[in-house]
Structures are given as C-alpha cells and as structure tokens.
Structure 1
Amino acid sequence: MLLLALSAPAAAQAPGPAPSSSPAQPAPARVPVYGYEVVRRFPHDPTAFTQGLVIRDGVLIESTGRDPSGVRRVRLEDGVVLEKRELDPEYFGEGLTEADGRVFSLSWINGVGFIWDARDLSLLSRFAYDGEGWGLTHDGSRLILSDGSTALRFLDLDTQAETGRVTVTLNGRPLGRLNELEWIDGEVWANVWQTDYIVRIDPASGQVVGVIDLSGLLKDPVQDPADDVLNGIAWDAKSRRLFVTGKNWPALFEIKLTGPR
C-alpha cells in the first residue's frame, strides 16, 4: 500500500532546505495509484533548479530558481539551451506556463509575475499577485497558481486578477506543498514538494483523483536530497507524451503511466 506524506501548513513553506519539523505522518491513499515506465531519457542541465516546465513544438520552456533565476528555451533531444533570460537578483524564479504565444512566470516572494514572448523570451510585461508564487499552469481561460499551501488559485488569463480558489484534498484531508503544475486532459497535475509523488487534481472540487508514484525514477546521485527533488511536468498534448524532471537533475524522462494498482 502506498504511503503518501501529507502536510497542511497554515502558510506556504519556503522551497529551499527541508524544514526542521517533519511533515505530518503518512496516511494510506485510497485513490488510484499509478506507476510508470520510462520511454526515453534525455539530457538535462544539472545546474538548472527547475521550477516550471512546458513543451511546445518539440522545444522545452523552463523556468529556474537560484544562481541566477531565469527562463530558457531548451532543445529536447540534447538539452542545448537555445535562448535564456535572467531575472534580476532580487527575484527567485518559480513556476511557468505558456498560453497563446505568451509565457507566464512567477517569482517566489515578490508578488511579481512576468510575461515573455514565447518565440524569443523577450519580456513583454509584468503583473502582480498576492502572496507567494510556486507553480503555474492554465486551462485555456484561467491561470492556475499554487503557493505552497493547500490552495489552488485561479487568475484571469488576460488581466491576471484572481477570480477564485479551491482547497486541494486527498481522502478528505487538505494537501499542501503543491509545487509545479501542469494541465492535462481537464486535470491539474501537481508535484508534491520533497516527495516522489505527482497528484492529479479535479480543479472543480479540489479532490485528488489519482496519485502517480515516481519512486526510483532518478538513479543518479544528487548533491542535496532535500533540494534536488522531483519537480517539472511537461505534457505534449499533440503527441500525448509526458515528460518529468527535477531540480538539478542531470536527466529529463519521457514516461508513460502504468496501473492503476
């Protein structure tokens, strides 16, 4: 039986080193649990502290945090960075999504988002939001933002004004530490920070309807197990391919789901 560590913090926790207090005790998951098969492994920059990830027309668009934070366009096949823009040092880069030729990215604690041209990552404008920014995706009309808490927040895609939010629950218990997000076939898929799990969320109810267990995916050693964790989901809707990676991982994986079990 899968044990999924749950946490329901009152406020968002920093996406850095592990906190001194451990998360809540594991609880058995009763939702469907999926495994995975690796289809192919691709190179990934091991210095990229991955925060957001999408794939468009065979090119990855990725946001990174730390030393420095920024956004980049990356060739899938060999991991070569085709275009790169750095954020000012005051900003810690967070989640990213792309819609209609615009790339939206977040900063962690500044309440400032950025809109880039998807063709060359030239900066188009900025926008403001309350609270922290962690993960970002969209459903075609709304941006969907995670802030490390148990909430998903909805923002108008054109004005970036908040229009609502929903509490995410697993088996009736609030689930926090939601990080990088991806919109896949009407669901929000979210990395759960510092775990090997992706959860599949019904955006209307906030209920987790599936859990993906990616334990053992990266067999390479990492420098810091608390920081260099699974984070990054990219869905190629045209070819129905799923890609995942992590912070400072040397590889990006195309996977397919197995199960559920």
Structure 2
Amino acid sequence: MMHIYKYFILIPLSILLTNCGDTNGSKKSSLSINIDAKSLMLGDTLNLSINDPQKQEITKVSYELNGKSIDKNSILTNITLGQKEITAKVTLGDKIETLTKSVQIFNNVIPSYYKYEVVNTYPHDITSYTQGLEFYNGELYESTGQKTESKLRKVNFETGEVLKNLDLEDQYFGEGLTILNDKIYQLTWQAKRGFVYDVNTFEKLSTFNYGTSKEGWGICNDGETLYKSDGTEKIYLLNPENLSEKGHIEVYTEKGKIPNLNEMEWIDGKIFANIYQKNGVLIINPKTGGVEGVIDFKPLRKLVTQHPELDVLNGIAYHPERKTIFVTGKNWDKVFEVKIKKQ
C-alpha cells in the first residue's frame, strides 16, 4: 500500500534559513540562529542557540515563535504545523540585534490507511460539475461549477430529483458550500466572492469577499467556525458572522505539505479533504493541520458511466444519522454511500 501513501505526499522540504541584519540595517549581522536539528516535527524540542563567530559579549537573548515568546528549549506542542518564523532579539551591550529564521514543522505520525465499503449507490445528475456536497437536517445540498452552468441545489439523494435550484450569475464559477444555523455559505472560484443564502428559501442574504486567501475551493464547518480551502496547503478559519479570516492551519504529513486541498467535510471532529485530481481524501486534525488518514476512492470512478465530460472525484457529505459518507464527482452519474474502516 506504500504507493497510495506516496500518491499524496510530496518530497521532504528543507528548512529555509533567512537572517536579518541589526535593527539599524547598517550591515549584515555576523550572528545567526542555530537549531540543533535537521528537521522539526510536532513534539520535538527546539534547542535554540546563537551562532557568534566573532565571540561578542552577548548579555541577553529572547526568542519568539510566530510572535509568541518561547524558551530556548521549548517543546513543539499546542502548535499548528507548517511554515513558521523564529525571532531572536540579541542584546550586545547597548545594542539589540534582531535575527529571524524560517522553519517548517512537520507532523509526527504516519497517516493511517482506510478502506471503504460501498453500502448503497444512488443516481446523480451527470451534468452536475460537483464542487460541494453536504447534508443538513437530513436533506442533501449541492453546489456545482463551470461559468454559465453553476448552481445551488437541494436534491433528493435517493432518487436524484432536484427539489430546489438556483442558477448563479453567468460570471461566477461555483465552488464549495456548507450550512450553519439555517444559512448556506457558497464559494466561487476566482471572483474572490462568496454568497450567503437562507437554507429554506434560497434567498440571497448577503455576499462576502475573501481575505488573505485568494481563491474559493472548499468549505465546511464545526458548528461554530467555517473552514475554507483555496487550493493551497492552507485551510482558513472564518467567523460565520462577518466572514473575516481569524487564522489558518497548514496541512502537513511527516514528509511535507499537501497542496490542492479542495472539497471538505467536517466528520467527527476531523476535516475530510479531497485533494484535487487525486480521487482520494485526507483525514486532517483541525488543531494542528496534521494528516492522520488517507482514503483512496480512485476505484469508484470506474463504477460510473464513462463519457468525455467525466472528471475527478469531488463531493464529500456526511450523514450523521446513518453514520455514512456520500461521495461523488464532477459529472458522475452516481453517488456512493460508503462506510470507512482503518486498515
């Protein structure tokens, strides 16, 4: 099964080092931050020190990790993964030099592999370029893409009948959706704009613009916070009231970052994320960004009608009462209800 794991991970990335000069910017500092490790993982000890080839008289050193004060021997716990910046303020007599060093923090576990069992198969509109899929109060909602063809729908999952439909304006390319407190949040791709609707009437209540994230891909929620992907390794945390970004996590294995995060679903405290064009799903710890599991759904694509417009898997919906996951893809004519189990 190692080929499945390699399918999702990237080549390990080296730690990047960048040193800044003194606070006056007059010359490059001879000092630098040293870490007694070739790479860093969650749970490691930093073991920080200052390289001082000129043997200057250092009277004080203080360290920060992404703006938060840390000790020189801090253990990497209660921290998210990914790119971080270590800052050292070094006192030399009456002068203070500020040094920085960029590091990457990797996950400290190897992802588990999950197998799946198809328990039911249902019809799906073969013309739907599925971008988002989610159950709410037992009803299935779907967002589809492509300019001039994007839609918001409520669907009878057993028959495939479209119960309610709203066409997006032609300039928008629909992306993921999630539902919280009777409000549907729908993303668009490159327009940097999302929409909020009443779940019962599909009335558009408001629009919102993206912040640091440049595109809209997938979105899910944990009952309080919205989680938004933008096609990178980052998942942004959004306030559902004003849609402002209140931080992000970066998705990493013990080998490297995982980009192209797309459709997402919140399931039992974890984020399940489809990787664009990979026909598989990652199970992500939302507190750290660490990948804890991998599900390879690639065989499902062979079970749908093969046609020129057939595209990749992209649709994950959890049914909490049935405790099953519904998956489909772009222009697939079937939705598969599955159960998963750790191997």
SS in 2 for 1:4: helix
Rounded Cα–Cα distance in structure 1 between residues aligned with 2:10 and 2:331: 24
Where does the alignment leave 5 or more consecutive residues of structure 1 unmatched? Answer: 9-28
Rounded Cα–Cα distance in structure 2 between residues aligned with 1:30 and 1:167: 16
- Please give the root-mean-square deviation of Cα atoms over the aligned residues, in Å: 1.7
Residue identity matched to 1:116: Y
Deviation digits for residues 40-86 of structure 1 (CA, Å, limit 9, x no counterpart): 00000000000001012332100000241120000111000011111
SS in 1 for 2:299: coil
Deviation digits for residues 197-245 of structure 1 (CA, Å, limit 9, x no counterpart): 10000111100001111121132343358x6111101011233221111
1:4 maps to which residue?
7
In 1, are the aligned partners of 2:279 and 2:314 still within 8 Å (CA)? Answer: no
2:169 maps to which residue?
88
Name the structure, 1 or 2, with higher relative contact order (CA <8 Å, separation 6+). Answer: 1
1:57 maps to which residue?
137
Note if 1:206 corresponds to 2:289: yes
Deviates more, 1:116-125 or 1:214-223: 214-223
1:153 aligned to which of 221, 236, 242: 236
2:280 maps to which residue?
197
In 2, are the aligned partners of 1:71 and 1:84 still within 8 Å (CA)? Answer: yes
Where does the alignment leave 5 or more consecutive residues of structure 2 unmatched? Answer: 12-108
1:216 aligned to which of 285, 288, 299: 299
Residue identity matched to 2:124: H
Residue identity matched to 1:228: D
In 2, are the aligned partners of 1:58 and 1:76 still within 8 Å (CA)? Answer: no
What does 1:132-143 align with in structure 2 at a 5 Å threshold? 132-143=215-226
Deviation digits for residues 3-61 of structure 1 (CA, Å, limit 9, x no counterpart): 324469xxxxxxxxxxxxxxxxxxxx941100111000000000000000101233210
In 1, are the aligned partners of 2:8 and 2:258 still within 8 Å (CA)? Answer: no
2:263 maps to which residue?
180
In 2, are the aligned partners of 1:58 and 1:75 still within 8 Å (CA)? Answer: no
2:115 aligned to which of 35, 45, 68: 35
Per the TM alignment, residue 171 of structure 1 is displaced from its structure 2 partner at its CA by 2.2
Rounded Cα–Cα distance in structure 2 between residues aligned with 1:7 and 1:62: 31
Q: How many aligned residue pairs are there? A: 239
1:165 maps to which residue?
248
Rounded Cα–Cα distance in structure 2 between residues aligned with 1:166 and 1:68: 32
Residue identity matched to 2:197: W
Residue identity matched to 1:123: K
In 2, are the aligned partners of 1:48 and 1:64 still within 8 Å (CA)? Answer: yes
1:113 maps to which residue?
194
Aligned-pair identity (%) = 40
Rounded Cα–Cα distance in structure 1 between residues aligned with 2:227 and 2:8: 23
Rounded Cα–Cα distance in structure 2 between residues aligned with 1:133 and 1:7: 23
Residue identity matched to 2:300: L
Rounded Cα–Cα distance in structure 2 between residues aligned with 1:103 and 1:111: 17
In 2, are the aligned partners of 1:70 and 1:86 still within 8 Å (CA)? Answer: yes
Give me the TM-score of the superposition, normalised by structure 2.
Answer: 0.67
1:247 aligned to which of 320, 330, 334: 330
In 2, are the aligned partners of 1:187 and 1:200 still within 8 Å (CA)? Answer: yes
SS in 1 for 2:298: coil
Deviation digits for residues 103-125 of structure 1 (CA, Å, limit 9, x no counterpart): 00001011111001111212111
Structure 1 segments, 4+ long, off by >6 Å, are none
In 2, are the aligned partners of 1:95 and 1:180 still within 8 Å (CA)? Answer: yes
Rounded Cα–Cα distance in structure 2 between residues aligned with 1:210 and 1:82: 35
Rounded Cα–Cα distance in structure 2 between residues aligned with 1:92 and 1:7: 29
Rounded Cα–Cα distance in structure 1 between residues aligned with 2:281 and 2:243: 26
Deviation digits for residues 151-177 of structure 1 (CA, Å, limit 9, x no counterpart): 000110111000000110022300011
Per the TM alignment, residue 93 of structure 1 is displaced from its structure 2 partner at its CA by 0.4
SS in 2 for 1:217: helix
Residue identity matched to 2:186: S
Deviates more, 1:170-179 or 1:180-189: 170-179
CA shift in 2, pair 1:149/1:7, >3 Å = farther
CA shift in 2, pair 1:7/1:118, >3 Å = farther
